[in-house]
Amino acid sequence: MADTATTASAAAASAANASTDAPPFQLGKPRFQQTSFYGRFRHFLDIIDPRTLFVTERRLREAVQLLEDYKHGTLRPGVTNEQLWSAQKIKQAILHPDTNEKIFMPFRMSGYIPFGTPIVVGLLLPNQTLASTVFWQWLNQSHNACVNYANRNATKPSPTSKFIQGYLGAVISAVSIAVGLNVLVQKANKFTPATRLLVQRFVPFPAVASANICNVVLMRYGELEEGIDVLDGDGNLVGSSKIAARHTLFVASTGHICH
């Protein structure tokens, strides 16, 4: 019955969108094809679109209701594919897919650019002291830790102690790598002053990249231990998988955004 209702909604939406450029809507699926780099790039831009930060509570409720109507086959006539894709984009940007609760604005994927850019600028400031290096690395990893935690797989409860352990591990690794590389560069007698200054400018990159991998793994290590829930095409729980958890963390740690 649910399949019939969904099919009816899809048919109605398709008929209403015959003259638009938007692809046919698919609930829970990416709008852009993931088989090409360009499609994945556009999907990535959709996820980090900061405009969703300004969506009102009323607009969010309307988006959620529109998707519910589509799911249950009660979609009103005239709704376009573009409206459905927009509704799904808003819901996925603001609400956690497992808890259905609002994600705190600075820790949403769409907030990564406006809230993360000032931190990146701080990491790349020239002539940093030991104190400033520690501060910016701490701030960066604190932000990353909160983003990782806020967007974690929440199908299974995780104790606060694991979050604290992961957070401390991520911060310590970032600070240690950054400070250690700075000390090594300063003690490198073979470098000219100009070369030493140039190398120091690039120290934040390996420090942040290495620490970010540690951050993702440590913050979400519970998923590796217990696995994550796996659903079939109809959204029914079929079991728990550690392999799926490893794949998810690998994708997250290599720079892709997973939600």
Would you list the DSSP string of 136-188?
A: HHHHHHHHHHHHHHHTS--SS---HHHHHHHHHHHHHHHHHHHHHHHHHHHT-
Does 19 have pLDDT greater than 50? no
Quickly state the pLDDT bin for 232 (edges 50, 70, 90). Answer: low
Residues 88 and 67: their CA atoms lie apart, in Å, by 7
pLDDT digits 0-9 by tens, 171-223: 887 788 878 877 776 676 677 777 777 777 777 777 777 777 777 777 666 66
Burial of residue 37 (CB within 10 Å: 0-12, 13-18, 19+) is exposed
State yes or no: pLDDT of 11 exceeds 60: no
pLDDT for res 59:
97
How far apart (Å, rounded) are the C-alpha atoms in residues 197 and 107? 34
At position 142, the amino acid (one-letter code) is S
- pLDDT class of 54 with cuts at 50, 70, 90: very high
**Residue scoring higher pLDDT (169 or 236):** 169
Collapsing DSSP to helix, strand or coil, 230 comes out as strand
Q: How many other C-beta atoms lie within 10 A of the C-beta of residue 28?
A: 12
pLDDT category, 245, cuts 50, 70, 90?
low
| Average pLDDT score over residue span 221-250 | 67
Sequence ranges of the domains in the chain: 3-94, 109-256
pLDDT exceeds cutoff 50 at 14 = no
Residue 30 has a pLDDT of: 92
Q: What is the pLDDT of residues 74-119, one digit of tens each?
A: 999 999 999 999 999 999 999 998 888 999 999 999 998 999 999 9
Is the pLDDT confidence value at 18 over 60?
A: no
| Predicted confidence (pLDDT) at residue 35 exceeds the cutoff of 70 | yes
**Residue 48 confidence (pLDDT) above 70:** yes
User: Closest Cα partner for 257 from 92, 127, 53?
Assistant: 92
* Predicted pLDDT of residue 12: 47
The token duo for 176 is 């240690």
pTM: 0.71
User: 140-176: per-residue pLDDT in tens?
Assistant: 888 888 888 888 777 766 777 777 877 888 788 778 8
2 vs 115 pLDDT, higher one:
115
Give the pair of three-digit tokens for residue 117. Answer: 């850019």
pLDDT tier at 227, thresholds 50, 70, 90? low
135 in Cβ contact with 171 (< 8 Å): no
